[in-house]
Structure 1
Amino acid sequence: MPGMTNPRARWFGLVFISIAVALIIVDSTIVNVAIPSIVKDLGITSTQVQWVQESYTLVFAALLLVFGSLADRYGRRRMLVIGVMIFALASVLAAFAPTGDLLIASRVVQGVGGAMVLPTTLSLINATFRGRERGIAFAVWGSTIGGMVAVGPLLGGWLTTYYSWRWAFGINVPFGILIVVGTLAFVVESKDPDARRVDVVGAILSVVASASLVFGLIEGRSYGWWTVATAPVIGGWTWPYSISPIPFAFAIALLAGALYVWWGLRRQKRGEPTLLAFSLFRIPSFRNGNIAAMIVSLGEFGIVLSLPLWLQNVLGYDALQTGFVLLALAIGSFVASGFAGAFGHRVSPVTIVRVGLVAEIIGVAGLGVTISATASWLTIVPFLFVYGFGVGLATAQLTGVVLRDVPVERSGQGSGTSSTSRQIGSALGIAILGTILFTSTSSLLDARLSDDGVPSSARTSIVNAVVDSAGSAIPALEAQSATIANDARTAFSDATRFAAFSAAGFLVLGFLATLRLGSGSAEAAVRRPDEAGVVEAEPRS
């Protein structure tokens, strides 16, 4: 294999592949800490706050399979370089965005670039490394993801506090240049000579299904879940029906999803290429691992939206202090990578995944118990560390479990499917937990203000101000009334607790899903000696 002729170049290439992963993962988390500053500067609403995150994650998830397949056909290194360039250029647009809508549009373009990067990094590793080396490479890749989830907020906090939130996007440009140069110098091109044309119809159906589902989850509290609360307005056109558009969005998502599966199975029976590798789902580790990965990601990354908002708007920390608090996540993840390295040859990957999920559940549930309007960083840092430790264990090992039995020539589709499962879970997590956070804040604050005898019209004004600003209006309420400000801090804290407990619940479901992964050692019925002399699982159908 060409990528294995120069061992030193191979490992240098892994460094730049990991930096590329770090770039897109950092960007998905760095914005969390900067959000309060963005709200103040651009005046965006809580719905736009969700879309600043969701637009990136949604496009990212919707296009992963497309670019995974294109990378197999046209070259994985080439796709990685193009994706990084698009990502860097979109970061420049985001850094100079004058309005919330233009920032969201820039995030959409960033999502396109990110979707070109992530599946190619996985498939390049899968095609370049073998045996124990592949395990080490996946551990580096997974630990990078786990660590960057928290390093992003720290970096974003530093840039936001001492410079501007705009530098949270501008920092991507020099890193992008470094990645492009390093990839071209040390990463060997890899492609599938038998790859065929991409399933365009399937791609469109997958985008429609995921976009309409997330739209419904995010906009339901604004437009109404069944009857219209606020009629959508597009240009000069206003929604004319009493029924909210949200049920229609969910119906479109269901129909497009069903058509996507039907279309893919139909093409597969005719021997035509499909966007999703349906035949790979015959591999138990791939099928069950993807289900677990989606559920786990739903619980893992959704909570990261609410914590920075709570730390800054309720506890009064600045962006940099918030980043330092969340650094406990990164420390836990890095400790986990050492733990996995020490015990990985003694314990099955599936066992490590389960241990990681138990740690995540304890960490997130512990946050739910300790979060309050009077909490301090000392009470939450231990649970963030435990949570990060779990993320570091589960992320790397689950990826290896999912792709272990996938043939190298199908690595693009396999890694694209694996990444899509995670990103769909992350997108749903942001949508669902964000909706829980803001809906709970609204109802809890309204109830507390009512108990204090605040008139209905004033209650509505205060609740809308707090919710629409994603909590950024809370500090300003102190000048109006200490009681009202305390009510707002308590309501937002309780809502954050509900989001944490909800995330823990999804992680429990993810843990239960891993019970179908077996022991992790007996899933391959046939074994063959690897090129490096290491026994490796042969894919089975």
Structure 2
Amino acid sequence: MTVSDTQTHPTATEPNPKRWLAMAIVSLAVSIIIMDATIVNVILPVLIQDLSLSVSEAEWVNSIYALVFAALLITVGRMGDLFGRRRLLLVGTVIFVGASVLAAASETGTMLLAARLLQGVGGAMILPSTLSTVNAMFTGRERGIAFAIWGSTIGGMAAVGPLLGGWLATDFSWHWAFLINVPIGIIIVVGTILWVPETRDPHATRGVDAAGIALSIVGLAAIVFGLIEGQRYGWWLVASAPVIGDWTWPFALSPVPIAFAIGVVALVGFVLVETAKARAGRFVLLDLGLFRIRSLRYGSIAALIVALGEFGMLFALPLYVQSVLGFTALNTGLLVLALAIGTFLISGGTAQIGRRIGGRGVVRLGLLLEVIAVAGLALSISATANAWALAAWLFLYGIGVGLATAQLTNVILVDVPVAQSGQASGVQSTVRQLGAALGIAILGTVLVTTLAAATAANLENVEGLDAAAQEQVVSVVTGSAGAAIPELASMPGSSAAVQTAASDAMVTAARITTFSAAGVLALGLLATVGLPATPVRRPEEAGAEAEADEPEAQPVAE
């Protein structure tokens, strides 16, 4: 570091005077990428109708965003360590905003999916750069507060997204659910240039792990593809042959098991390649030795499972309340706002609770509340469900998210050496986004499969409906993921009895899917058994930690 660098940037013992302004910008950056992971949930029924999306395309609108996130986070997180996290944040924001404009201008499902893919690329650059920047800017007690803000932003904005999307889709149009990112992105770019310091990992060795990058992307993409497309193409034998242009899949075997096999082989290859390179002292994309750290290993498992349950539930709930209860997109957003309120109300007390029962205790308490809330939500689902009862369960769920999500990040990184914090940040962000992709894929499949079976069974009791008509109704209902149910009675050859049968089927599917989400969250709670105990500190002891805690590498000037 040169003399001018020292004068321009804080020293190791001198905290960045603009750190809280930078924290506000970092939180705003996290907000837009998390909002866009959930904002589509509320406007999805509108998108299905306006763009004539198939059920597979509807699932991919969300999943391709989370999938690209998961596939690229390790790679771009490493780029931030090497070339600068602020630089990565700026580039990611520009890509994200540009993709949002493309999404808003979409006229077909294909165009929207391409835009969502690009949003995933930009978001994958933003998320690890924000977490590593927070870890670099703060120390001691302030670092714990900053982690709590970062984590609570994730949980809270996952709920604010549906509210914002619902309001924009109802009072304006779904296009504005994406265009809203433009002014926010401009603020992030300006604020990042003014206040966010440039940081790198001075211990990181430069290099390119092309094999690791390729294997990780192929492995994750192939597995999530199989989960999403299994319902459409068949889990073993072809149910519907894939068509690309003039080419049609020529085999009796579905492409889904082939995708699973490719994914497993690629991920196993990734582990073998990274292990061999690390032993040889060569540059690796991911140091798998990090998983020897108990807190990171079990915390990552818990984070993956929790994200799977959370995002899977948030995919199913808006479809149910709009297709069965007749909620508008705005009313759906207002309902899910209860989740955000619970998250934000508890976030201020998370640190105090942590001093009483420790970080691991806070995570467990939060997950327990999430399990209870989602199970209660499943029990409350019916054709005449009370909105206030649903909101109450979502409020309790939000409290659990505020406790678990905020502290889980801290618990995962607590024992990671400073020199490896960049990679560890990428790992924990990756498992969260992979969990989100898997949650939408797995629980989305549960929803659609159950909806198809329940609709077919209920239609058998409708008089005057022949087999061909029943099959057509099942196709319409499942093809729209239930979004077409409110219009069924007005369709030619249909009736109010047909709509009631489909509505009851959606209730059954939503209830089973939500119970499944509760079960997944219970597995996440079980995974915390492996987390090491974190010390319980009295208030007067907190200051001692702040003095003893050493900061990560300080900003390196351009």
TM-score, normalized by the shorter chain, greater than 0.5: yes
2:556 match? none
1:154 paired with 2:166, answer no
Per the alignment, in what secondary structure is the counterpart of residue 204 of structure 1? helix
Per the alignment, in what secondary structure is the counterpart of residue 423 of structure 2? helix
- Aligned to 1:455, which of 447, 461, 466? 466
1:185 paired with 2:207, answer no
- Aligned to 1:221, which of 231, 247, 250? 231
1:134 paired with 2:143, answer yes
1:347 match? 357
- Provide the aligned length of Structure 1 versus Structure 2: 532
> How many angstroms does 1:518 deviate by?
2.8
TM-score by length of structure 2 reads 0.93
Task: Go from structure 1 to structure 2 and tell me whether the alpha carbon gap of 1:131 and 1:505 turns closer, same or farther (over 3 Å shift).
Answer: same
Q: Deviations over 1:375-415 (max 9, x none)?
A: 12122111111111111111010000001122222222110
Give the Cα separation in 2 of the matches to 1:174 and 1:498.
40
> How many angstroms does 1:452 deviate by?
2.4
- For 2:503, give the aligned amino acid: R
Give the Cα separation in 1 of the matches to 2:452 and 2:548.
57
1:526 match? none
> How many angstroms does 1:536 deviate by?
7.5
- Aligned to 1:393, which of 403, 413, 421? 403
Per the alignment, in what secondary structure is the counterpart of residue 518 of structure 1? coil
> How many angstroms does 1:341 deviate by?
2.9
Segment of structure 1 superposing worse, 168-177 or 448-457: 448-457
- Aligned to 1:212, which of 214, 222, 244? 222
- For 2:177, give the aligned amino acid: A
Give the Cα separation in 1 of the matches to 2:533 and 2:473.
54
Segment of structure 1 superposing worse, 441-450 or 402-411: 402-411
> How many angstroms does 1:532 deviate by?
4.4
Contact 2:80–2:88, Cα closer than 8 Å, also in 1: yes
Q: Deviations over 1:68-125 (max 9, x none)?
A: 0000000001101110110000000000011011000000000000000000111011
1:533 paired with 2:541, answer no
Give the Cα separation in 1 of the matches to 2:311 and 2:245.
34
TM-score by length of structure 1 reads 0.96
Task: Go from structure 1 to structure 2 and tell me whether the alpha carbon gap of 1:412 and 1:307 turns closer, same or farther (over 3 Å shift).
Answer: same
1:514 match? 528
Q: Deviations over 1:294-322 (max 9, x none)?
A: 11111111110111111111111111111
1:362 paired with 2:372, answer yes
> How many angstroms does 1:482 deviate by?
1.1
Q: Deviations over 1:343-399 (max 9, x none)?
A: 222220000000000000011111111101111212211111111111111101000
Give the Cα separation in 1 of the matches to 2:402 and 2:425.
19
Please show how residues 374-413 of structure 1 align to structure 2 within 5 Å: 374-413=384-423
1:54 match? 63
Contact 1:156–1:168, Cα closer than 8 Å, also in 2: yes
1:485 match? 499
Per the alignment, in what secondary structure is the counterpart of residue 98 of structure 1? coil
Q: Deviations over 1:307-344 (max 9, x none)?
A: 11111111111111110000010011112212313322
- Aligned to 1:435, which of 432, 445, 449? 445
1:246 paired with 2:260, answer no
> How many angstroms does 1:253 deviate by?
0.8
Q: Deviations over 1:473-530 (max 9, x none)?
A: 11111233111111111101110111111111111111110011032239xxxxxx98
Give the Cα separation in 2 of the matches to 1:297 and 1:194.
31
Task: Go from structure 1 to structure 2 and tell me whether the alpha carbon gap of 1:389 and 1:4 turns closer, same or farther (over 3 Å shift).
Answer: farther
| Unmatched tracts of structure 1, length 5 or more | 523-528
2:479 match? 468
Per the alignment, in what secondary structure is the counterpart of residue 328 of structure 1? helix
1:330 match? 340
Contact 2:92–2:122, Cα closer than 8 Å, also in 1: yes
1:302 match? 312
Give the Cα separation in 1 of the matches to 2:12 and 2:26.
13
- Aligned to 1:114, which of 104, 112, 123? 123
Contact 2:222–2:262, Cα closer than 8 Å, also in 1: yes
- Aligned to 2:176, which of 157, 167, 170? 167
1:311 match? 321
Per the alignment, in what secondary structure is the counterpart of residue 347 of structure 1? helix
Q: Deviations over 1:445-484 (max 9, x none)?
A: 0011013243211111001101111212111112331111
- For 2:127, give the aligned amino acid: L
CA RMSD in angstroms comes to 1.7
Q: Deviations over 1:192-237 (max 9, x none)?
A: 2342213121111111111111111111111111111111111111
Give the Cα separation in 2 of the matches to 1:211 and 1:159.
32
Give the Cα separation in 1 of the matches to 2:306 and 2:282.
32
1:75 paired with 2:84, answer yes
Segment of structure 1 superposing worse, 120-129 or 188-197: 188-197
Give the Cα separation in 1 of the matches to 2:166 and 2:11.
42
Segment of structure 1 superposing worse, 466-475 or 190-199: 190-199
2:508 match? 494
Give the Cα separation in 1 of the matches to 2:71 and 2:157.
22
Task: Go from structure 1 to structure 2 and tell me whether the alpha carbon gap of 1:493 and 1:364 turns closer, same or farther (over 3 Å shift).
Answer: same
Task: Go from structure 1 to structure 2 and tell me whether the alpha carbon gap of 1:146 and 1:3 turns closer, same or farther (over 3 Å shift).
Answer: farther
Per the alignment, in what secondary structure is the counterpart of residue 327 of structure 2? coil
Give the Cα separation in 2 of the matches to 1:16 and 1:537.
21
